[in-house]
């Protein structure tokens, strides 16, 4: 099973440390008449400084095949106690030690069953129409994934290359942008517009290559409302979408009900952009 890489845990962001760090954090000044390359470099440097600051104050999620949302420190303690009695019983077999093993094992597995039931009831009590499909998946399980059996693709690298050629066919690159024009009637980006864009963003949406969810940007915007406008305003003022915001993660999913999965057309791709890119997209959409 291939696990996702460790990502910042936005729910456990150390806001107190972030507040202290943001007191002295400012974006680098942008040139009055930048070129496309200089403006892209300015944005890359500024956004990297900001994202590095955030990830340094947020613990990382370390996914594991055995990760369980209902697990607790008490279960860890009961498991250690059960394994301790089991080791003692192997080294010194006796009715007393075997009775301790049976008693600790019974207590441990009863606690697991109780924790699972409590977690399930808590989930159902707070369920919303958006989480009904999650409840169905928990109750009936996931369907088996269809691994592509593509002709001529004998290893994962060739399978990935075939999918890339299908979903993203090569095309001539666009002509390079030689100069930028600042719009005379441009209205500066305000924190209120950023707030409206963030209000339409779900905290549970999967982030892109930056691995920073919308919940983190919402917290940062509440702490320092002028930060995101100062970062995104020069891009809007000059009409530039930097290449770093165009990078994305592609998740390939199988389409249900296909008679065979020997063609890339039996799959679909979900593109996960950087959350900063989606915020900028929502700002532009609201202006249009």
pLDDT, one tens digit per residue, over 263-277 is 888 888 888 999 999
- β-strands 7-8, 267-273 pairing: unpaired
Q: Which one is predicted more confidently, 3 or 246?
A: 246
pLDDT at res. 249: 86
pLDDT of the residue at 278: 93
Considering the chain, tell me which residue range(s) the CATH 1.20.58 domain(s) occupy.
Answer: 73-140
Residue 102: phi and psi, rounded to 5, are -65, -40
Q: What is the pTM of this model?
A: 0.70
Per-residue pLDDT tens digits for 96-146: 989 999 999 999 999 999 999 998 888 888 877 777 777 777 777 666 666
Q: Are 57 and 12 contacting, i.e. CB atoms less than 8 angstroms apart?
A: no
pLDDT the model gives residue 215: 87
**pLDDT of residue 189 exceeding 70:** yes
Taking residues 196-211, report their average pLDDT.
86
> Any idea what the Cα angle at residue 52 is, between residues 50 and 56, rounded to 5°?
120
What confidence tens digit (pLDDT) does each residue in 204-256 have? Answer: 788 888 888 898 899 889 989 999 999 999 999 888 899 999 888 888 888 88
Per-residue confidence (pLDDT) for residue 145, from 0 to 100: 61
User: What is the full DSSP assignment across 145-205?
Assistant: P-----TT--SHHHHHHHHHHHHS---PPPPPP------TTPPPP-HHHHHHHHHTS-TTS
Helices 227-238, 191-199: axis angle to 10 degrees equals 100
The predicted pLDDT at position 85 comes to 93
Specify burial of residue 180 (Cβ count, 10 A radius: 0-12, 13-18, 19+).
middle
- Give 10-58 pLDDT, tens digit per residue: 667 788 888 888 888 888 888 888 888 899 999 999 999 998 888 888 8
Q: Are 257 and 62 in contact (CB under 8 A)?
A: no
Compute the distance between CA of residue 99 and CA of residue 85 in angstroms, rounded to an integer. 9
CATH number of 73-140: 1.20.58
- DSSP output for 12-26: G--HHHHHHHHTS--
- Locate tokens 């370390």: which residue? 62
Is the model's pLDDT at 154 over the cut of 70? yes
Residue 43 DSSP SS3: helix
């Amino acid at each position: 099973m291939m696990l996702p890489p460790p990502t910042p845990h936005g729910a456990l962001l150390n806001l107190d440390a972030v507040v202290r760090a943001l007191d002295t954090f400012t974006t680098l000044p942008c040139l009055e008449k930048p070129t496309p390359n200089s403006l892209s470099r300015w944005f890359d440097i500024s956004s990297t400084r900001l994202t590095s600051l955030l990830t340094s104050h947020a613990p990382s999620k370390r996914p594991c095949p055995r990760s369980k949302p209902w697990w607790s420190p008490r279960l860890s303690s009961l498991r250690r106690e059960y394994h301790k009695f089991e080791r003692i019983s192997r080294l010194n077999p006796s009715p007393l030690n075997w009775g301790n093993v049976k008693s600790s094992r019974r207590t441990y597995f009863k606690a697991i069953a109780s924790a699972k039931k409590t977690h399930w009831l808590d989930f159902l009590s707070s369920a919303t129409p958006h989480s009904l499909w999650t409840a169905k998946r928990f109750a009936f399980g996931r369907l088996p994934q269809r691994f592509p059996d593509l002709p001529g693709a004998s290893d994962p690298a060739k399978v990935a290359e075939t999918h890339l050629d299908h979903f993203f066919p090569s095309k001539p690159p666009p002509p390079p942008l030689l100069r930028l024009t600042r719009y005379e009637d441009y209205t500066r980006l305000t924190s209120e517009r950023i707030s409206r864009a963030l209000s339409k963003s779900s905290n549970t949406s999967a982030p892109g290559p930056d691995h920073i969810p919308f919940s983190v940007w919402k917290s940062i915007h509440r702490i320092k409302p002028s930060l995101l406008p100062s970062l995104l305003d020069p891009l809007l003022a000059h009409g530039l979408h930097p290449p770093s915001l165009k990078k994305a993660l592609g998740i390939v999913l199988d389409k249900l009900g296909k008679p065979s999965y020997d063609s890339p057309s039996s799959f679909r791709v979900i593109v996960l952009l950087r959350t900063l890119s989606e915020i900028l997209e929502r700002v532009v959409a609201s202006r249009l």
